[in-house]
Amino acid sequence: MRTVSGVAIAVIICSLLSGIAAIGIILNFEAVTARIAVFVVRLLSSAFPVLLVVIAILYLAARLRWRWHRDYRRW
């Protein structure tokens, strides 16, 4: 009898689940794409993009300020 490791069992289960999911997506392609479209529209119409822009600006400002502070110390 051959022993099968837990990793091999997990890989087999994940492969089966992804295969079943792929078949389900192919069979219900229109419904799946409609759900994806609705999700993207809701995401973009929410404040999420604005939040990302604000976070990016704050991050860049903090990096620039740190760089100025570090260069001033060297001088």
pLDDT score recorded for residue 74: 59
Q: How many CA atoms lie within 13 A of 63 on its CB side?
A: 6
Q: How many CA atoms lie within 13 A of 28 on its CB side?
A: 10
pLDDT score recorded for residue 9: 94
* Per-residue pLDDT reduced to its tens digit, 15-34: 999 999 999 999 999 999 99
Element (H, E) at 15: helix 6-27
Residue 51, pLDDT > 70, answer: yes
Residue 41, pLDDT > 70, answer: yes
